[in-house]
Amino acid sequence: MDVLSGAAAGFLAAVALALALPLPRTAKLALLVVANLAFLALHDRMAPGVFLAVSLAAFGLARLGARGISGGLFALLAAPIAALLFLPKTGLFGTNPAALALTGFAREFAKAPAAFVASSYFTMRALHFALDARREGKVPGTLLEMLAWNGFFPTLIAGPIERFGNFSQSLDRLGRPDFGDFTHGAWRIFVGVLKKVVLSELFFELSRPLLDFGSPAGAALGTGDAWLALYAFGLYFYFDFSGYSDLAIGAGRICGIRLAENFDNPYLRPNISEFWRTWHISLSTWIRDYVFLPLCGRSTGAWRPRAASVASMVLCGLWHGPTLGWAVWGVFHGAALALHQSWTAWLRKRFQWKQRLAKSRVAFVASTLVTFHFLAIAWIWTAYAGAGLGTSLRYLARLFAIA
């Protein structure tokens, strides 16, 4: 079911009306779980089974973790769950035929069979639930609450990766949106449709010279047109992904659920660290809390956080797509984060320099432009992610008029 279709709008309206019925809280939660499973079933009849298997396994793991099982046993039991973050995209289980009709970023998420639709997102949420239970020594919520949250249908296809703690704060409002929720929800859905249908498609078309560069037609691409296509490609990523987040947030508000924001003008940030605090916020904070910080451990040395940044971003790239191109994208971002950590540490010892740079408008504009161009160039590795690195290297050479 296309999230921009009339069927999707009708599904949302039907669920919102059903949740608005004067039912007990438990009944509303059960109704939402049924709606979540129905949404998955509309994509593939096997998808609800995959979701339930992951969620029930994670809930059982959360209970064991809360009882204090050893870290080794916890990791061993979590490994089969974590495998769903990567395995469905490798092609080992076949390929979703619908992926052949998709392009760009969406193609990477559609390589898995339809039965694994949304597995990346509900698996990340399931792992977070179990990990938090082990850290806090208690299960964060009931099984029914966990299923309602982990499968919340507006967030299944492309996030956000909503934390259980934030979601649970809205559960008392489930099915009871006020006028402000309706107006804000409708506005965010409008913005999401505008981004995905108009702006995303516009910039995708403008980026075609980059995407077609490997074909014979790409041989005549000039340097200026190569840069314009690159800018368009970066903007396509933003409008496509942030547009879906707007749709999810708007749909959630109409159901009475207030999801956390997922984007905050990321391309207007002066450094790579600020970018990752404002781009796909739910993903970046998940990686920070459950990958980067554990890899850092309690080390006080400078090398371990740098190495953890590279390792975390490589894993992030491989999560998007298990290809060499996405791995290189991860290395680029990880190395940039490590370099920024070193720069920040150097500035910390030079307080006057730090103050001057913080107050300088010229420095802010220059660093924002440098950051944006770095991000744009890093996207090149994902454009040809499944075709090796040769085309990406040739495009880089074309950008700088080397070849």
**Quick one: 244 and 285 in the same domain?**
no
Q: What is the pLDDT of residue 113?
A: 55
Asked if the model's pLDDT at residue 1 lies above 80, the reply is no
**Quick one: 365 and 326 in the same domain?**
yes
Closest CA to 117 of 141, 147, 96: 96
**Quick one: 169 and 30 in the same domain?**
yes
Q: What is the pLDDT of residue 100?
A: 36
In a domain, 1, yes or no: no
Q: Across the chain, what does the average pLDDT equal?
A: 88
HSE value, Cβ hemisphere, 13 Å, CA-based, for 43:
28
Residue-wise pLDDT tens digits, 138-171: 999 999 999 999 999 999 887 799 999 999 999 9
In a domain, 45, yes or no: yes
Q: What is the pLDDT of residue 389?
A: 85
Asked if the model's pLDDT at residue 120 lies above 70, the reply is yes
**CA dist., res. 343 & res. 214, Å (int):** 37
**Quick one: 221 and 275 in the same domain?**
no
Domain-terminating residue out of 141, 176, 211:
176
Asked if the model's pLDDT at residue 375 lies above 70, the reply is yes
> Which residues form the domain of 146?
6-176
**Quick one: 158 and 297 in the same domain?**
no
In a domain, 54, yes or no: yes
Q: What is the pLDDT of residue 241?
A: 92
**Quick one: 27 and 123 in the same domain?**
yes
Q: What is the pLDDT of residue 93?
A: 56
In a domain, 221, yes or no: yes
Q: What is the pLDDT of residue 274?
A: 96
Cis status, amide bond into 209, omega within 30 of 0: no
b/e burial code for range 177-216 (CB count within 10 A of at least 16 → b): beeebeebbeebbebbbebbeebbeebbebbebbbebbee
**Quick one: 147 and 107 in the same domain?**
yes
94: left (phi over 0), alpha (psi -120 to 50) or beta: left
Least confident of 106-120, 206-220, 282-296, 338-352: 106-120
Domain-terminating residue out of 235, 260, 285:
260
In a domain, 252, yes or no: yes
Residue-wise pLDDT tens digits, 33-75: 999 999 999 888 888 999 999 999 999 999 999 999 999 999 9
Predicted confidence band of residue 301 (pLDDT cuts 50, 70, 90): confident
In a domain, 288, yes or no: yes
**Quick one: 231 and 104 in the same domain?**
no
Predicted confidence band of residue 283 (pLDDT cuts 50, 70, 90): very high
Q: What pTM did the predictor assign?
A: 0.90
Predicted confidence band of residue 335 (pLDDT cuts 50, 70, 90): very high
Q: How many structural domains does the chain have?
A: 3
**Quick one: 358 and 396 in the same domain?**
yes
**CA dist., res. 279 & res. 272, Å (int):** 10
Domain-terminating residue out of 239, 260, 281:
260
The one-character DSSP state at 167 is H
**Quick one: 34 and 162 in the same domain?**
yes
Which has the higher per-residue pLDDT, 30 or 301? 30
**Is 59 in a helix, a strand, or coil?**
helix
Catalytic positions are: 320
In a domain, 300, yes or no: yes
Residue-wise pLDDT tens digits, 222-250: 999 999 999 999 999 999 999 999 999 99
Q: What is the pLDDT of residue 97?
A: 41
**Quick one: 255 and 268 in the same domain?**
no
**Quick one: 37 and 169 in the same domain?**
yes
In a domain, 393, yes or no: yes
Predicted confidence band of residue 218 (pLDDT cuts 50, 70, 90): low
**CA dist., res. 300 & res. 88, Å (int):** 37
